[in-house]
Amino acid sequence: RILDPIFEIIASIPATALFPFFVLIFIKMPFGINLASIFLIMTGMQWYILFNVLSGIRTFPTDYDAVSKAFGFTKWQYIRKVLLPGIFPPLVTGSITGWGGGWNALIVSEYIVINGVAYSVLGIGYLIDYATYVKGNVFLNMFYVFIMAVTVVALNRLFWRRMYARTQRYAYTS
């Protein structure tokens, strides 16, 4: 409860606004741009997951606590058999939205120019930038965007939809 307002203020800063700071911190290190990209992706994802899980914990039925105490659950049994299954649905929901936020951050983080020097990570964001700004090839750009869209749809259909369907098993109604 004390940290929630602080987290909300920090979360209001777009992850992509932090990327130049990550680059300044990591650029001189080995794999610097890769580390900066990883930190940007994590920053782009963490708030979605955190706030969904916190919401799930806040709305967790107190009856479950009473029943687990009545059955004499240890703290570990309570966490494993009651709390983790109870927060699984908001964790998956937060992960789905976090994946989208991380994907957006990833696209931004793969190509940056500092003092005329281009730093890049080979990925779809770099390929889109390359097709647009270096080659000026509209067809290549459209092809990379198409590949990105196919990847997003495939992951949603093959992975996230199945994960979300599994959450129904643990859902509770209040």
* pLDDT (tens digit per residue) in 29-49: 888 888 888 888 888 899 999
Residue 92 has a pLDDT of: 93
Of the candidates 17, 23, 18, 21, the one whose C-alpha atom is nearest the C-alpha of residue 35 is 23
Residue 173 has a pLDDT of: 65
Of the candidates 49, 48, 50, 45, the one whose C-alpha atom is nearest the C-alpha of residue 18 is 45
Alpha helices by DSSP H, the chain = 3-11, 15-26, 32-58, 62-70, 75-78, 84-109, 124-129, 138-155, 161-167
Q: pTM to 2 decimals? A: 0.79
Give the whole-angstrom CA distance, residue 19 versus residue 33.
10
Angle between helices 84-109 and 138-155 (to 10 degrees): 170
- For the chain, the residue count is 174
Both tokens of 113, joined, read 């120019």
pLDDT in tens, 1-37: 788 888 888 888 888 888 888 888 888 888 888 888 8
Q: Select the highest-mean-pLDDT range: 30-44, 106-120, 151-165.
A: 151-165
